[in-house]
Amino acid sequence: MKELEKLFNRIVQRVNINLRELHFDVSPYAETLFPSEQMSKFYAFYGITPDHPLDLHFEHSALAGSYFLGKCRVRNSLLYKSDIRGDELKRKDQNIRFDRFSLTMNRDELIDIEDSALVKTLVHNYSHDPETPEKFYIKDTLAMDYSNIHGSPCDGSFLGPFATVDLTTMRDCAIGTYSYIQAGEISHMDIAPGTIWVNSSGNFNFFYKYPSDALDEYVSLSPEKVPWGILIDFIEQRKVEFQRVFDYANIESIESVPKTSSLDRYAVVLPNMRIEGNVLVSQRAYLENSSLGKGSNAQENCFIINSSLAGYNVTAHGAKIVEADMGSGAFVGFNSFLFGKKHARLRVGKGCIIMPHTIIDIEEPLEVPAEHFVWGLIRNAAELAENSISLEKLGTLRGAFSQGRMHFEGDGLLLFKAFKDRISHILDVNGAFFDNGQKAGHAQKNQRLSLNTIQPFQFGDMEGMYPNIRIFP
């Protein structure tokens, strides 16, 4: 058996051992994950800038098509077209606060991926766990297509396709397809597909569950079949455009990008794009016939097509905006799918918060009023009324409140404030407020990014594996 197969089988069994108490077997889902015959055909690449620490260590691993930024270590793991984004790693001597506690870092934070398999997964290190401040770890974990691990240490867990764990520490958990979890520390939990759960202990608890038959149309998974549905088809129909940017060492630059904005070399940008100042476009973003107003961002794996963003808009990892007009300051959360049509334009008002993993799929024009909080499955005006609330009303909620399939407990003002603070942080670190040399963020710093490639073994028992590599500054 080749080393690649040995490694994968070992990882699958390690995950299964961790999930044995849940009686959850990842083996059937894992069989078709990695195209072993293609793993030697993709190169990995990493970015270098003066603003990010560089210390990369790859040991007995396969990294096909994956991207690294910042200080990372990958040991005995398989990564396939994943993004490991360490652009907000904490630094030595930095002071961090958690509740009433204060701690000074004694070394740079490191992303440490061990005995794990990540497929087209976005890892972002905005780390949650104060118990391991110098290490952001992913261990004994299997993550499937287009899942997000965002500030969420993972130990012995499984993430289904389009699942997100956000600012959460997770141990021995199975996160179902298209579920979004932000719930502090969770352990030994089997989360059903389509679960949207945002919990802050003692402050608020937001819970929504997609109707399973409706969710299956968009994304579904079974042991007998690889992920399928509208979301998978949407991405597959556009993958040929990504092949172009990954095929060539250099492609033509886009002269219309302002000096205070940055456009990643591995983003797809098709004709008739307008990009204003302080805009960040990340790798594997897809832009077509759209406008991005000042201070907006298009994060990894997002799609913006035939749409306009007024300015200071956040399009989070994996979000998709099609045939829509977004008011200023509107936020679209992880893996949301805003699918207007030419004959059914979607309009989202100023300051709206579109919850992560929201689906708006309409056949008639629809307008979301300004300053609204939106979640769940929306296909018409009636479902919008059921799955939204004004931010003003949200701020008045105290105690228990239910609306449609959504249930809320706690202080609505604290939920509102948590999202607003998060949005402000995202805009700030992305450089949306850059002015006269002050408040620089990723949009400005990434202009100094250089990209380098490394290749796997091309033949023999090690085919598809990467040599042990250590890259220092």
402 belongs to a structural domain: no
413 belongs to a structural domain: no
344 with 432, same domain: the answer is yes
254 with 300, same domain: the answer is yes
Structural domain of 297:
238-396+420-446
CB 313 within 8 A of CB 331: yes
**What pLDDT was estimated at residue 94?**
92
Nearest to 44 by CA among 82, 86, 74: 82
222 with 246, same domain: the answer is no
**Cα end-to-end span (Å), the chain:** 36
CB 302 within 8 A of CB 286: yes
Alpha-carbon Rg of the chain, whole angstroms? 21
81 belongs to a structural domain: yes
**Residue matched to tokens 């579920």:** 179
42 with 176, same domain: the answer is yes
Contacts of 420 (CB under 8 A, 6+ apart): none
Tally Cβ neighbours within 10 Å of residue 347.
Answer: 15
161 with 245, same domain: the answer is no
**What pLDDT was estimated at residue 222?**
84
120 with 153, same domain: the answer is yes
Across residues 21-48, what is the average pLDDT?
Answer: 91
**Rounded distance between C-alpha atoms, residue 314 and residue 292, angstroms:** 10
> Each residue of 329-340: b (16+ CB within 10 Å) or e?
bbbbbbbbbbbb
**What pLDDT was estimated at residue 248?**
52
CATH number at residue 213: 2.160.10.10
Adjacency order of strands within the sheet including 314-315 = 262-263, 280-281, 297-298, 314-315, 331-332, 353-354, 372-374, 388-390
CB 145 within 8 A of CB 301: no
13 with 81, same domain: the answer is yes
Mean pLDDT, the chain, as a whole number? 94
Across residues 8-24, what is the average pLDDT?
Answer: 97
385-438 per-position pLDDT tens digit: 999 999 999 999 999 999 999 999 999 999 999 999 999 999 999 999 999 999
Following DSSP, what letter does each residue of 402-470 receive, concatenated? EETTEEEEEEHHHHHHHHHHHHHHHHHHTTTT-BTTBS--HHHHGGG-EEEEE----SSTTTT-B--EE
339 belongs to a structural domain: yes
pTM: 0.96
389 belongs to a structural domain: yes
209 with 352, same domain: the answer is no
**What's the domain count of the chain?**
2
191-223 per-position pLDDT tens digit: 999 999 999 999 999 999 999 999 999 999 887
Residue 152 banded pLDDT, cuts 50, 70, 90: very high
273 belongs to a structural domain: yes
CB 30 within 8 A of CB 117: yes
158-170 per-position pLDDT tens digit: 999 999 999 999 9
pLDDT of residue 23 exceeding 90, the answer is: yes
248 with 178, same domain: the answer is no
313 belongs to a structural domain: yes
Tally Cβ neighbours within 10 Å of residue 400.
Answer: 10
Across residues 32-50, what is the average pLDDT?
Answer: 89
272 with 313, same domain: the answer is yes
97-137 per-position pLDDT tens digit: 888 899 999 999 999 999 999 999 999 988 888 888 999 99
139 with 251, same domain: the answer is no
CB 324 within 8 A of CB 309: no
**What pLDDT was estimated at residue 13?**
97
Residue 251 banded pLDDT, cuts 50, 70, 90: very low
219 with 269, same domain: the answer is no
412 belongs to a structural domain: no
Helices and strands in the chain: count of H runs, count of E runs: 9, 51
